[in-house]
Amino acid sequence: MTEIARRGLCLVLSAPSGAGKTAISDALLASEPRLRRSVSVTTRAPRPGEIDGVSYHFMTQAAFDQAEKNGELLEWAQVLQGTHCYGTPRKPVEDALAAGDDLIFDIDWQGFRALRDKLPGDVLGVFILPPDLATLESRLKGRGGDSAAEIARRMRTAQDEIAHWREFDHVVVNEHLPDAVNAVRSALHAARSVTQRMTGLAGFVAGLGA
């Protein structure tokens, strides 16, 4: 298959908890060889089984603060009532884009907005919706481990997150997982073939004698 050099892109999947973005991400990563997961930095300690540089890049709060001050993070957020910070390191993303590799991100609408502002033209945003709120609540309950109060909190948060759907390039309703995966894959493939992204296209066309 002919492969023309191109600039990579950032695929952001955003969704309320329980909408299925992790399942969609995993399916795409398993089937798209030029797609890999963006590895975030975090100030929290590694959990059992997590590997530095694979699960996250673990760093101290002081190192994180310095990285943010130096402009080394494309986006960042403080979560869990201000306990820990998470962010996207700039250099690995820029290196991947230059090499023609695509990165998939699991970040919220605020992270998507910040990433798009820092990398205009390189970010494809897909918002994942549940078919209805009853299904979303059922999926959250089906996970097990969360209290009724936590599920109620997640449902309230979901409403706030869903309100930002208009900011994204595509919206996919995840009623049937294989269909949702195919819809996101179609958006990814279309974005890859945007004329301005295909850096080797001029040379390829010249070779055709056009």
Lowest mean pLDDT among 3-7, 45-49, 144-148: 144-148
**Using CA atoms, how far apart are residues 209 and 195, in angstroms rounded to an integer?**
18
Over the Cα atoms of the chain, what is R_g?
A: 19
CATH of domain 10-197: 3.40.50.300
Say what the pTM is.
Answer: 0.91
Q: Pick left, alpha or beta for residue 185 (phi over 0 → left; psi -120 to 50 → alpha; otherwise beta).
A: alpha
For the chain, the domains span 10-197
CB 168 within 8 A of CB 125: yes
One-letter amino acid of 85: C
- Residue 167 has what DSSP assignment? G
| pLDDT, tens digit, 9 for 90 and up, residues 126-148 | 999 999 999 999 999 988 778 89
Beta strands (DSSP E) in 9-72 are 10-14, 35-37, 41-42, 57-58
